[in-house]
Amino acid sequence: MSVLSPLSQRWNIEICSALYIGGPARFNNLKGLLSGISSRTLSDKLSSLSGEGYITRTVEEGPPVKTLYSLTEKGMRVGRLLGNLVAYLKMDEGYVVTTTEE
């Protein structure tokens, strides 16, 4: 059950699903996809998910310096399991979400 512990926390599944559906993203792009999340919460969750091995943080030298967040293989497994479910729930709430088939 320890595998589900980080994913049971609010926003973590949504973050992994957003990265799975949309691919690598910068902080502000993710924040725009996750309606209602504060910058502080997103920053904390990204740090936590990175520490748990679900996402990687890559800094691209600039100028301007860009930071990209992407899923690790562990995160991709979560995305494959839950990405379509989250997309369905968002569509059911009236959001338009597209997924790509592998």
CB 60 within 8 A of CB 68: yes
Q: What is the reported pLDDT for 1?
A: 45
With CA atoms as reference, report the closest residue to 91 among 5, 2, 17, 11.
17
Where helices occur in 23-94 by DSSP H, the ranges are 27-33, 39-51, 73-92
Q: What are 44-76's pLDDT values in tens digits? A: 999 999 999 999 999 988 888 899 999 999 999
> What is the C-alpha to C-alpha distance for residues 64 and 14, in angstroms, rounded to an integer?
28
> What is the C-alpha to C-alpha distance for residues 102 and 94, in angstroms, rounded to an integer?
25
pTM of the model: 0.77
Which domains are delineated in the chain?
4-91 (1.10.10.10)
